[in-house]
Homo-oligomer: A and B are copies of this chain.
């Protein structure tokens, strides 16, 4: 059963010899789906893997020898299930890929704290421009994403090659402030898309708000979007979001 547990030896890495077997297991898991076992002949398995019945039969044997699956051959009824070890093999790859993806994609970690960005959205002189130039009325707050050093460097480098959406500065007096007319500087924005790592289908158009960071923490990027993103993506601090820059 894939459900019992123990501390048997779990390999650290997939054996290069076993690529086709690994993929065989993978496809088997996929079609087993949420059932605990499956009736499958070697012919069917062959169809699934795009190989002959003979090869599929050999795969079954190898998978069983490796302890990744277990078979019960009762007459013409062939029941296959994934063993705990088999499940661990899948888990191994999953974890490995997760780690890889956090490196090769720009991934930001949702971080607590109102950035300066929230200040900009709240000022009418900026807000009207955001609304018009970004193409959406932004939520009056920003989502702070913390990037790794590398990811932050990659992002900055990437932004350099892009034409920013310029939010013009202006001089004016906010009525709530007792000070006289002060000047508000220009801000740059960049279109982007956000998505959860595990569900790329739900992509949200957003914008990176590139403000001159004065007393801002390092490697933090502030995001503007129409909805309240923490609700939209069901986020909590520490969750990861993928940032994709739009192709211009």
What residues of B have a CB within 8 angstroms of the CB of A93 in the complex?
93, 97
Q: How far is the CA of A106 from the CA of B7 in the complex (A)?
A: 17
Q: Point out the residue from B19, B51, B238 that lies within 8 Å of A234, measured CB to CB.
A: B238
Q: Output the least CB separation between A87 and chain B (Å).
A: 5
List residues 179-193 of chain A with CB under 8 A from any CB of chain B.
Answer: 192-193
B158 engages A1 (CB within 8 Å): yes
**For the complex, is A123 an interface residue (Cβ under 8 Å from B)?**
no
Q: Do A199 and B150 touch across chains, with their CB atoms under 8 A apart? A: no
* Assembly CA distance A236 to B94 (angstroms): 21
Point out the residue from B5, B96, B101, B148 that lies within 8 Å of A245, measured CB to CB: B5
From B6, B104, B236, give the contact of A236 (CB < 8 A): B236
Instruction: Tell me how far the C-beta of A235 lies from the nearest C-beta in chain B, rounded to whole angstroms.
Output: 9
Whole-angstrom distance from the CB of A93 to the nearest CB of chain B? 6
Q: Which residues does chain B contribute within 8 Å of A49, judged by CB atoms? A: 16
CB pair B101 A87 closer than 8 Å: yes
Q: What count of chain A residues pass the 8 Å CB interface test?
A: 58
Is the C-beta of A91 less than 8 angstroms from some C-beta in chain B? yes
Q: Is the CB of A3 within 8 A of B150?
A: no
A154 within 8 A of B: yes
Cross-chain contact A90 with B100 (CB below 8 angstroms): yes
State how many angstroms separate the Cβ of A247 from the closest Cβ of chain B: 4
Instruction: List B contacts of A104 (CB < 8 A).
Output: 2, 29, 32, 82, 86-87, 90
Cβ distance A137 to chain B, nearest Cβ, rounded Å: 23
- Name A102's closest neighbour in chain B (CB-CB): B34
Interface residues of A in 152-192 (CB under 8 A from B): 154-155, 158, 192
Pick the residue among B7, B20, B150 that contacts A19 (CB under 8 A): B20
Question: Which residues 65-99 of A have a CB within 8 angstroms of B?
Answer: 82, 86-87, 90-91, 93-98
> Which 8 A-B pairs rank lowest in CB-CB distance, beginning with the nearest?
A5-B244, A6-B247, A94-B97, A34-B103, A16-B50, A29-B100, A2-B104, A87-B104
Q: List 22 A-B contacts (CB under 8 A).
A: A1-B154, A3-B244, A3-B245, A4-B244, A4-B245, A6-B247, A7-B247, A16-B50, A19-B19, A29-B100, A30-B100, A32-B104, A34-B148, A36-B154, A86-B104, A87-B104, A90-B97, A91-B101, A94-B197, A94-B198, A97-B97, A234-B238
